[in-house]
Amino acid sequence: RRKGRIVDQEGVRAKFGVEPGSIADWLALVGDAADGFPGLPGWGAKSAATVLARYGHIEEIPLDPDTWDIPVRGAARLAGTLAENLDQALLFRRVATVDRSAPVGSSVDELAWSGPASSVTEVMGSIDAPRLAERARAAARSRRAG
């Protein structure tokens, strides 16, 4: 999240303890406040890194902790939490994954905010929130001036 800082594969491994391809899985287990999901109860950075360094992805983690071939503190509890929340973990991973097929403009300038659409005033009026419409217009004026 640091502006202008690029992290290579080794940097990802050093910081998170997993391969770059497992970052979305790691975030799904641990949680990510920036994306607004909590992760799974009991899964911390260290346990997620240890398990994902061995198994790679959530769906590859055995749900039976007796079959884990790595030592992990609280393995039975972690496996149980994963089994109970597998669908949620997979959803969190999807949220944490950048969708490369999402439609975007052909230039950065096309992505610049140009202020509220004319329908904003109409919508704000329909929910009886005229102050929000005025704040949006003021923000647009400020943006154009600055």
CATH value of 9-96 in 1.10.1060.10, 3.40.30.10, 1.10.150.20, 1.20.1090.10:
1.10.150.20
pTM for the whole structure: 0.69
Q: Is the pLDDT of residue 128 over 80?
A: no
Return the pLDDT at 47. 97
Model confidence pLDDT, tens digit, residues 86-102: 999 999 999 999 888 88
Burial of 86 (0-12, 13-18, 19+ CB in 10 A): middle
Q: Count the helices and strands in the chain (H runs, E runs).
A: 7, 0
Higher pLDDT, 109 or 59: 59
Report the alpha-carbon distance of residue 50 to residue 73 in Å, rounded: 10
Return the pLDDT at 77. 97
Burial of 29 (0-12, 13-18, 19+ CB in 10 A): buried
Apex 32 CA angle, 85 and 50, nearest 5: 65
Return the pLDDT at 115. 63
Q: Is the pLDDT of residue 133 over 90?
A: no
Q: Where are the domains of the chain?
A: 9-96, 112-145
